[in-house]
Amino acid sequence: MKLVILAGGKGTRLSEFTKVIPKPLSLIGDFPLIFHLMYYYSHFGIRDFIICSGYKSKLIENFFKEKISLKFKKILEKWNIKIVNTGIYTNTGGRVKRVENLLKNEDNFLLTYGDALSDINIKKLINFHYKSINPATISVVLNKERFGKVLIKKNNLVKFEEKRAKTLINGGFMVLSNKIFKILKSDKDILEEKVLEFYSKKKMLNGYLHRGFWQCVDNYRDWEFINQIYKEKKITNVFIK
């Protein structure tokens, strides 16, 4: 099964790095986030990668051509990597639509964002998808709310609740049928609205609950946090050793 990685956005909330490099190239330890991600998927036999680049696409291309150490060149020889510049301003659905020709022989394919890592079991995710007739499966993860909750009555603060609650969100590790290409039409299409919300309303969207490690790198605080986890070796099977 092929993995499509969405890696074309500007990543403006991580501007400390993205003024110079695309977010998927931000370093977690000694290696870019996207390489950790691909390496993790490879543990489950996934070795065909389609990277939908856009913003500073050339830097992603150069990384895989020039900057991999000798230790990992042997791994790259076993991988099939296709980097497609899907444009700077193309929306998520449009990026996937642009690589449709590379997936024409695939009944189903994996899709993820290039800015999150998890210890989700990809094999179980795929099997979960196959057990259903639905065309789309998303991973669902518990994510701590970023901000405290308040309640105001007549200008008086009557309740403050620190950010303790956890909400269920799309973890971004997905399995999709090629049927989605009947829905996606243009660069303007947003995958989350055009496909996921569409199938959800029709009760044709699967949710695979993952209770383990998941962390996105949305901003600098997230980047610091995940690097701390890497340094402390709290989660060992997600990162390149």
Q: What is the CATH number of the domain that holds 37?
A: 3.90.550.10
pLDDT value at position 67?
67
Q: What is the pLDDT of residue 112?
A: 98
Q: Total domain count for the chain? A: 1
Q: 240 lies in a domain?
A: no
Is 185 within a domain?
yes
In a domain? residue 241: no
> Is residue 239 one of the residues assigned to a domain?
no
Q: Tell me the pLDDT band of 241, cut-offs 50, 70 and 90.
A: confident
Q: How far apart are CA 214 and CA 48, in angstroms?
A: 23
**pLDDT value at residue 145:** 60
Answer yes or no: is 158 within a domain: yes
pLDDT, tens digit (0-9, with 9 covering 90-100), for 51-102: 999 999 999 999 988 867 666 777 788 899 999 999 999 999 999 999 999 9
In a domain, 238, yes or no: no
How many residues does this entry show for the chain? 241
What pTM did the predictor assign? 0.91
Range of the domain at 223: 2-232
Mean pLDDT of the chain: 90
User: Is residue 99 within 8 Å of residue 7, measured between CB atoms?
Assistant: no
Give me 122's structure tokens: 């990809």
**Per DSSP, what are the bridge partners of residue 150?**
160
Residue 163: the pLDDT is: 54
In a domain, residue 237? The reply is no
Residue 142: inside a domain: yes
Q: What pLDDT shows up at residue 68?
A: 72
pLDDT in tens, 169-226: 899 999 999 999 999 999 999 999 999 999 999 999 999 999 999 999 999 999 999 9
Please determine, for residue 159, whether its predicted confidence score (pLDDT) is greater than 50.
no
Q: Is 90 exceeded by the pLDDT of residue 114? A: yes
Closest C-alpha among 159, 156, 158 to residue 148: 159
